[in-house]
Amino acid sequence: MTHIGKYSFSKLFRPLCVSSRRTEQADIFSAMFSQQKKPSSNLAAFREHFAKSKHIVVLTGAGVSAESGVPTFRGAGGLWRKWNAPELASPLAFAENPSLVWEFYHYRREVMLSKEPNKGHKAIAECEKRLKKQGRRVVVITQNIDELHKRAGSENIIELHGSLFRVRCGKCGDVTVNKDSPICPALKGKGAPDPSAEDARIPVDQLPKCKKAGCGGLLRPDVVWFGEGLDPVVLQNADKELNECDLCLVVGTSSVVYPAAMFAPTVAERGVPVAEFNTEATPATSGFGFHFKGPAGENLPGALARHKSEPK
């Protein structure tokens, strides 16, 4: 297992969870960054690091997609009907009430089909395309499952938590891309987020089913649910990029969901410049070299624009 500084990514191979271990998290960050100074908001200084970087990793979370109008289901008022995401996004919830869980994900899929990438997504994609011609690498490691980075034009994407537009069969394990709207006839018009909406109570035999010959098993969204571990191959790929990067951007993430919460702090620990672009400070902010407060759609275009040293 790869080690960075005195921290090993083996510690990050734990089930996905919102950090209820706030004290543990605070202690880890405090130990890693006890000697760090207050992050800089000097864009010109950041741009000098950007101009010299050959391998950039951009870590993104729900905040960047929130600017496209995507619900986060996190924090005050972040409910679907009367539930928050952890209550529905779990193997237990799906086993107990697959109809309700599919209503929730059907709603999210339909919402995403009406949203478009914002200036933040586009700035990252444009930067990747431009720097590729210079022999430089930009990789997005995202916690988001909405595929907005892909739609914006990014190609080097590691989806830590899967995708809303892939499904996995619970019987044969087959994973396929699925952008049908609705995903099955029984879900048409269902999934209203209003707290007064009644559960559809769709029979299991009418929920999305595997189309592989001879199977017909019940499909589930190909996403990582709370209580599940991340795909080791996906983590291995992320590990490789994080170890090789010479600049890291943290965009729109609350730094409270493991293992992604520790990615940037661990990179910063080995002396790599880390710049956070967020609307507010996070538990990890004090350990980063840069912090730019505000919407990513406002700050990223200028931060990632062509530098004067780049060839035209």
Q: What is the reported pLDDT for 75?
A: 53
CA–CA dist 127, 106 (Å, integer): 33
CA–CA dist 127, 134 (Å, integer): 11
Torsion of CA 148, 74, 76, 254, to 10 degrees: -90
Q: What is the reported pLDDT for 74?
A: 61
Kindly tell me if the per-residue pLDDT of 303 is higher than 90: yes
Kindly tell me if the per-residue pLDDT of 244 is higher than 50: yes
Kindly tell me if the per-residue pLDDT of 297 is higher than 90: yes
Which phi and psi (to 5°) does residue 177 adopt?
Answer: -75, 135
pLDDT digits over 61-108, tens only? 999 999 999 987 765 557 899 998 889 999 999 999 999 999 999 999
Average pLDDT, the chain: 89
User: Averaged over 235-260, what is the pLDDT?
Assistant: 92
Is the dihedral angle over the CA atoms 235, 237, 242, 248 positive or is it negative? negative
What percent of the chain clears pLDDT 70, i.e. is strictly above it? Answer: 87
CA–CA dist 69, 172 (Å, integer): 35
Residue 312 vs residues 125, 141, 307, 308, 309: alpha-carbon distances, Å: 18, 28, 10, 9, 9
Kindly tell me if the per-residue pLDDT of 193 is higher than 60: yes
**Position 133, amino acid:** K
Which phi and psi (to 5°) does residue 309 adopt?
Answer: -85, -10
pLDDT band at 24 (very low <50, low <70, confident <90, very high): very low
DSSP letter (8 states) at residue 196: T
Paired tokens of 118: 């914002």
pLDDT band at 277 (very low <50, low <70, confident <90, very high): very high
Q: What is the reported pLDDT for 77?
A: 59
Q: Which one is catalytic: 55, 161, 291, 307?
A: 161
CA–CA dist 242, 3 (Å, integer): 11
User: Averaged over 160-188, what is the pLDDT?
Assistant: 97
The candidate with the shortest Cα–Cα distance to 62, out of 125, 143, 152, is 143
SS3 label, residue 250: strand
DSSP annotation string for 149-178: HHHHT--SEEETTEEEEEEEETTT--EEE-
User: Averaged over 190-195, what is the pLDDT?
Assistant: 93
Q: What is the reported pLDDT for 50?
A: 98
Q: 149 an active-site residue?
A: no
pLDDT band at 225 (very low <50, low <70, confident <90, very high): very high
Q: What is the reported pLDDT for 12?
A: 45
| Rounded to 5°, angle at Cα 150 from 87 and 59 | 65
CA–CA dist 179, 183 (Å, integer): 7
Kindly tell me if the per-residue pLDDT of 18 is higher than 80: no
Q: Are 296 and 253 in contact (CB under 8 A)?
A: no
